[in-house]
């Protein structure tokens, strides 16, 4: 995402840094191209290895730099991995998660599909969202010890859910009951963890990234 953000800068400094970072960004993109064709199954955990999260960030980069073939590859793999998913039960969070495996998948598909296609997919994937089901997606996680490096991850669940809920709301018409519900739930999750972005190193060295994603979604 850093390379994507730099590519949008119009200043001389922005262009200089974008050029400096491009060899590294290009190497990462090539590794995606090499790996995705042989990756038969997605990784659905709520941590660093989640493949929906990886595709989401890669799609952001590909769109920013205008790499249409890379975008097509990412969208194709997203559909292969997640296109048939339905009636998600959202067995989350895990004890050291910092992502919602359900909502980051929805965010990935929001980016990978055209608007109408995404809404149809969402109706299948989370068919009872308007009834606040799965209930766990609407309840902020409880973080019992923010000095514990693994337990502190759970603030990330709240912030990443807020990011995904806000992005989901943008994809829905204002008169869709899920629109207001998504915004309300995003605010609830933000309120639970935004005050704790700073205070202990176990969270403060990384939580701000997810806070920014949520606040700018």
- Measured in degrees and rounded to the nearest 5, phi and psi for residue 158 equal -60, -45
Please tell me the number of Cα atoms within 13 Å of 136 on its side-chain side. Answer: 14
Q: What is the pLDDT of residue 9?
A: 83
Q: How many residues does the chain have?
A: 217
pLDDT of residue 21: 85
pLDDT at position 90, please?
A: 97
Cβ–Cβ < 8 Å for 103, 161? yes
CB atoms within 10 A of CB 144: 9
- pLDDT tens digits, one per residue of 45-87: 999 999 999 999 999 999 999 999 999 999 999 999 999 999 9
pLDDT at 10: 85
Alpha-helix runs per DSSP H in the chain: 2-7, 12-35, 51-65, 68-82, 101-112, 115-125, 153-170, 177-193, 201-204, 207-216
Q: Which tens digit of pLDDT belongs to each residue from 84-132?
A: 999 999 999 999 999 999 999 999 999 999 999 999 999 999 999 999 9
Q: Look at residue 3 in the predicted model and tell me its pLDDT.
A: 83
Is omega for the bond preceding 183 within 30 degrees of 0, making it cis? no
**Among 101, 105, 99, 121, residue whose Cα is nearest residue 172:** 121
pLDDT digit string, tens, across residues 13-45: 888 998 898 999 999 999 999 999 999 999 999
3-state helix, strand, coil in the chain (%, to 5): 65, 0, 35
pLDDT at res. 7: 83
Helices 207-216 and 177-193: angle between axes, nearest 10 degrees: 150
What global pTM score does this model have?
0.94
């Amino acid at each position: 995402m850093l390379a994507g953000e730099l590519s949008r800068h119009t200043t001389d400094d922005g262009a200089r840094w974008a050029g400096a970072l491009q060899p590294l960004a290009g190497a990462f993109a090539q590794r995606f191209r090499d790996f995705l064709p042989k990756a038969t199954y997605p990784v659905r955990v709520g941590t660093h290895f989640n493949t929906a999260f990886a595709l989401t960030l890669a799609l952001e980069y590909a769109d920013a730099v205008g790499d249409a073939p890379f975008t097509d590859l990412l969208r194709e793999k997203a559909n292969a991995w997640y296109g048939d998913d339905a009636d998600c039960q959202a067995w989350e969070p895990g004890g050291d998660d910092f992502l919602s495996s359900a909502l980051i998948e929805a965010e990935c598909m929001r980016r990978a599909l055209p608007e109408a296609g995404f809404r149809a997919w969402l109706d299948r994937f989370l068919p009872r969202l308007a009834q606040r089901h799965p209930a766990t997606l609407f309840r902020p996680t409880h973080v019992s010890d923010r000095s514990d490096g693994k337990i502190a991850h759970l603030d990330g669940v709240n912030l990443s859910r807020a990011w995904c809920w806000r992005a989901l709301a943008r994809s829905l018409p204002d008169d869709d009951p899920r629109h207001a519900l998504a915004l309300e739930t995003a605010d609830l999750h933000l309120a639970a963890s935004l005050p704790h972005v700073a205070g202990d190193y176990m969270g403060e060295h990384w939580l701000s990234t997810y806070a920014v994603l949520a606040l700018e979604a």
